[in-house]
Chain A
Amino acid sequence: MKLVYTDVLVIGGGLAGLRAAIGVKRRGLDTVVLSLVPAKRSHSAAAQGGMQASLANSAMGRGDNEDVHFEDTVKGSDWGCDQQVARMFVHTAPKAVRELAGWGVPWNRVRSGDREAVVNAEKITISESSEAHGLITARDFGGTKKWRTCYTSDGTGHAMLFALGDQSIANGIPVMERKEALALIHEGGRCYGAVVRDLVTGELTSFVAKATVIATGGYGRIYKVSTNGIICEGTGMGIALETGVAELGNMEAVQFHPTAIVPAGILTTEGCRGDGGLLRDVDGHRFMPDYEPQKKELASRDVVSRRMTEHMRKGKGVKSPYGDHLWLDITVLGRAHVEKNLREVKDICHYFLGIDPAVDWIPVRPTQHYSMGGIRTRHTGESTTLKGLFACGEAACWDLHGFNRLGGNSVAETVVAGMIVSEFIADFCQSDDSEISIPTALVREFHAREQGKLDELLASEGNEQASDIRRRMEEIMIDKVGIFRTGTELDEAVDELQDLLVRSRKLGLQSRVHGANPELVAAYRLQKMLKVALCVALGARERTESRGAHSREDYPQRDDSNWLKRTLTTWNNENDTLPTVDYEPIDVAGMELPPGFRGYGQADHRDHPDTEGRASEVTAIREQLEDADRFEVQNRLMPYKHLLPERYREKNERLEEPVAKTR
C-alpha cells in the first residue's frame, strides 16, 4: 500500500484549491494539491466576465461599498444565503482583488477623461476622474446596484488562475496532476485523508492528512447541456456524500445562465449584457423591458433565464434544429469594444458558430451553469458533521449564494474562500485539536475497499453500459429538474434516477485494463454522479415553494413561513437508493437584511413570522444610530468581524474612504 502523509490535502487545483494551498503553505504547513488535470486547465479558467469587489474606483462604481455589495448579494440569493458569510465575503473581496493585483493579475484600469459606453441601448458618456486614473476599474453585471465587477478583458478567470498557478510554483507547492480522489478515509466523525487513483497508471495511493480540503467545483455535468467543463461532474460532493457523515446543502439550487450559445452550450459572459448587449426575440424585439422594467437584461440570472424561457414558450423563440433560442445582440457595442473587451466571446462565435458578433446576433438560450449547493460547512469552511474535512469554492455551501448567485460572485468567492478557509485550516492544524493517531489498518481497509471496487468493476459480467445510463441521467436532469419544475416531473425524475442507480450497480466493461482506462473512469464516477443527481432532484421535489433559481410552477410563491431553511442531504447507507433529507432553519431574527422584495422578478411572497418583528428592530436601530457611521450601524445590526481570521479584519480603503495607516 502506497501511503503519503501531508498536513493539508487539497483536492482540486482550481482557484479555490490553489488559494487555499498557498494560504496554508504560507502558514508553514506541508500541503499537496491533487488535480484531475494540469491545474491551469481547471474550469476556473473559463470564468470570463470578472469578479465582484466594491473598490468604487470607476465613476459608475462611486458610492459602492461593502454594504451595497452585501445587499445585492442577499437579494440575489433570495434571502437563502447565510448573511454573516455574505458579510465576511463582501469585506474580503476587495482584499482578494488587491492581493491578486500584487501577484500580477493585469486588471483593467480606470482611464481618466470621457469615454462612451452603452447603457440601456443608448450611448452615454462616462467621465472618469483623474484621481482614479490607473486604479482598478469595473464593469456592470446583473443584479448589482453599482458597476462592481473587476476584470481583465473577458479572460478574468484565466488571468487569475495563471497568477495563482504561478504563485503555487513560487511557493513550491506540489501539484499532482491526473490524480482522482476515490474516497475519503474517515472514522468516528473524523476525516483522515483520501484514497487516490492515478489516472495514468491506475495505481492507488492513500494520502493521510490532518485536514482534507475539497475544492472540486460544481456538478454541472449531471445535466445534458451545461456551460461547465467536462470535469465538473460533482464527484467531490460525491465522495463527501459517500462518507455517510458529511452533509450536502441546498443541492436543488442550480443556476441557469441566460446566454450560452446554441447548440454547443458554451458560455458567453454576462459582461456582454453588462457592457450594454441586448436580448432579442424572433421578431428582433427587445423583450426584457416588457418583463423587467427596472433591471431589464440585468436582473439576476435566475430571473432573466425564466423570462427568456417564458418568452420562448409564448412562441417568440427562434426555431432551430436544436430547439428554440433567442438572440444576444452585442453589435450595439461596436467592433472596437467587442474586439478588446469581449475577445473570448468573439473567438467562441467565430470558431463554434462561424459568425462575427460585431455584426451578427448570437443564438443563445439559458443553460445549466452553476451549483449553489455543495458540501455544507460552517463559516470556517469545515464540514458541519465531519471533523477535519473542509470545502471551499463552488464545491462548498458555506452559504454565500443561497438560491441564486450573482454574476461575478463565484470567481470572487473562490479566492476569498481560499483566503479565509486556509487561515482556519492553518489554525486548526496548528492546534492540539488536529492531532491524529490513525492505525494503518484503517487506511488499509479503505484502500482495499476502493481497490476491490475497481477489481470488481473490471471483472464484472453485467450488461449495463455506463454511457447509456449517464446519458439518460443527463436528459432527466435537464428535462425534469431544469429551470421550471413541477411536482409530477420531479416525482418521475426521482423514480427514474433511482432505477438508474440500481442499474448502475450491474455494469459491464469492454476495456478491462487497470491503467489508463476512460471507460473504467466513467464507470466508477457514475454512481457518485447519480447520488448527487438524486440529492438535487429529491431536494427540488420536497421544496414546495419557489426561491431564486428553484422555480416550482405548482408552487410559484416564495414561502418564507415554511421554507426559509436550508436543505441538508446525506447518504446514510451504501445500498440506499435515496438520500436522507433534513432541514436547517435560517435565523430571521438575526438578519441584517430581513426578507422582502428583491426589486426584480416576482413581487409576492409569504412572510416568515419573525420578519415583521425583525424589520421593525432594524428600522429602530437605524433611526437610533442616525448620526453614527455605517460601520457602527452595521455592527449593531449583525456583528461579523469576530468571525473573520484576524488578518482580514482591517477596513478597506477607497478613494472616498481613506484609511489612516494604523500599522
Chain B
Amino acid sequence: MNKSSDQATGREPQTGVSDQSARRLTVKILRHNPQDPASEPRFEAYELDEAPGMTLFIALNQIRDEQAPSLQFDFVCRAGICGSCGMLINGRPGLACRTLTSKLGPEITLAPLPVFKLIGDLSVDTGAWARQMGERLETWVHRESEPDIDRLEERMDPDRAEEIYELDRCIECGCCIAACGTARMRKDFVGAAGINKMARFRLDPRDERSDEDFYELVGSDDGVFGCMTLLGCNDVCPKELPLQTQLAFMRRKMVSVK
C-alpha cells in the first residue's frame, strides 16, 4: 500500500498489530532443569489468550508472569538483533522475539535449540559455544602492525566494505548449528557460523592470513570438509546470510590449498 504525501489517511498500523479474532493459544514447552536432580524432561502445556501483535517474547513473559514463575528463556533486545532467543519453534530453529503468534497455529510447540548445552527449559549456552569457536578459529583480524589511530585510516574499496559487512551480520544465534546434520554428529564441527566467519576474514584485506593459514583452521572434517551440504543452515538463518555460497566458496578455496 503506497501513501504519497497528498494522500491523507488515518489508518491503523497493519497486519502485525491489526485486530484479529482472539484465539486461545496452547503453548507446549519442553521443560527440564539440569541443575535439579529431580527434574525430568517433559512437555508442559500453557494456555493463554492471543493478543493483537503478540510475539513469542510477549507470550512467554506472560506465561512466566502468570503460570510458570520458574520458566527459563533468554531475551535481550527483543527486536531480532541480538540473537539471544534462538529456539525450536514448531520444530524449526528461529528467533522467538520476532515470531508473531499470528503466523502460527493455535498450538505452538517450543523446545531448546539442540547441540548446545542446556541451561534450563528454553535457555541454552550459545555463549560458551561461540567463545570456543572464536578461540579455535581465531576470529579476529590478524595483522602485524597496530593501526595508527592519529593518521588517516587505510583506504578500502567501498564495495569490499559492504561485502564484508554482509558476512559480518552473523549474530551467533545458533540457529544454523541447531539445523546442521553434521553438528549433531561431530561435536567439534565449526558449523556455518564458523565457516562464514572465516570467509568474512578471508575477504578482509586488513587480515594478513593466507589460504594456508585458513586451511589450518578449517581445512578438516571439523571444518569445511565435514559439511554434508544438507544446507539446513541456509534455510533457517534469521539474517539470511548467504551461507550456502560461503560454504561452497570456502570449500573450493581450501581444496586448492597445497
Contact = CB atoms under 8 A, between A and B. Distances in A.
Interface in B8-53: 8-19, 33, 35-36, 52-53
A659 B162 CA distance: 29
Contacts of B128: 177
A152 B131 contact: no
Interface in B109-123: 119-120, 123
A45 interface: yes
Per DSSP, chain A at the interface is: loop
A435 to B, nearest CB: 31
A418 interface: no
Given A40-B130, A102-B146, A321-B52, A516 B119 contact: yes
Per DSSP, chain B at the interface is: loop
Nearest to B19: A321
Contact of A266 (B14, B75, B79, B152): B79
Interface of A: 37-43, 45-46, 55, 94-99, 101-104, 106-111, 133-137, 152-153, 155, 158-159, 162-163, 165-167, 169-170, 175, 177-178, 200-201, 229-231, 262-264, 266-267, 280, 282-286, 318-322, 325, 329, 331, 340, 344, 347-348, 351-355, 359-361, 363, 467, 509-511, 513, 515-519, 650-655, 659, 661
A566 B146 CA distance: 40
Contacts of B5: 280, 284, 286, 329
A283 B140 CA distance: 51
B53 A108 contact: no
Contacts of A650: 150
Given A319-B10, A518-B64, A46 B79 contact: yes
Contact of A353 (B13, B77, B171): B13
Interface in B59-103: 64-65, 69-72, 74-84, 98-100
B222 interface: no
A319 B131 CA distance: 47
A178 B4 CA distance: 48
A344 B71 CA distance: 30
Contacts of B1: 359-360
Contacts of A361: 3
Given A104-B204, A109-B155, A134-B156, A166 B2 contact: no
Nearest to B35: A515
A38 B125 CA distance: 9
Please indicate which of the listed interface residues A263, A264, A285 has the most CB atoms of chain B within 10 Å of its own CB.
Answer: A264
Nearest to B78: A230
Contact of A104 (B13, B17, B135, B207): B207
Contacts of B138: 170
B156 to A, nearest CB: 5
B150 A170 contact: no
Contacts of B52: 321
5 contacts: A94-B149, A133-B155, A165-B134, A322-B13, A355-B16
Interface of B: 1-19, 33, 35-36, 52-53, 55, 64-65, 69-72, 74-84, 98-100, 119-120, 123, 126-128, 130-131, 134-135, 138-141, 143, 146-158, 161-162, 164-165, 168-169, 171-172, 201, 204, 206-207
Contacts of A267: 79
Nearest to A343: B169
B72 A264 contact: no
Nearest to B73: A518
Contact of A653 (B11, B123, B152): B152
A169 B130 CA distance: 11
Contact of A38 (B4, B13, B126, B150): B126
A511 B77 contact: no
Nearest to A166: B140
Contacts of A518: 64, 69-72
B145 to A, nearest CB: 9
B76 A169 contact: no
A42 B140 contact: no
A533 to B, nearest CB: 20
B13 A320 contact: yes
A38 B70 contact: no
A516 B120 contact: yes
Given A169-B140, A361-B3, A111 B204 contact: no
A319 B9 CA distance: 11
B147 A102 contact: yes
A102 B206 contact: yes
Contacts of A109: 155-158, 161
A231 B74 CA distance: 10
Contacts of B201: 104
Please indicate which of the listed interface residues A102, A177, A650 has the most CB atoms of chain B within 10 Å of its own CB.
Answer: A102
A98 B147 contact: yes
B15 A135 contact: no
Contacts of A351: 16, 80, 98-100
Nearest to A231: B76
A361 B201 CA distance: 38
A230 B78 CA distance: 8
Contact of B53 (A135, A264, A355): A264
Contacts of A99: 147, 149
A654 B150 CA distance: 9
Given A43-B77, A169-B131, A321 B12 contact: yes
Please indicate which of the listed interface residues B79, B140, B158 has the most CB atoms of chain A within 10 Å of its own CB.
Answer: B79
A435 B72 CA distance: 42
Contacts of A320: 12-13
Which 9 A-B pairs have CB atoms at the shortest separation, nearest pair first?
Answer: A102-B147, A38-B127, A134-B155, A354-B15, A354-B16, A106-B164, A351-B98, A95-B149, A104-B141
A284 B147 CA distance: 49
A38 B141 CA distance: 21
Given A166-B140, A167-B140, A284-B8, A134 B70 contact: no
Nearest to A649: B150
A170 B140 contact: yes
Contacts of A517: 70
Contacts of A96: 149
A539 B9 CA distance: 41
A267 B80 CA distance: 11
Contacts of B158: 108-111, 133-134, 137
Please indicate which of the listed interface residues B81, B148, B156, B204 has the most CB atoms of chain A within 10 Å of its own CB.
Answer: B81
A354 B165 contact: no
Given A109-B158, A321-B52, A360-B1, A284 B9 contact: yes
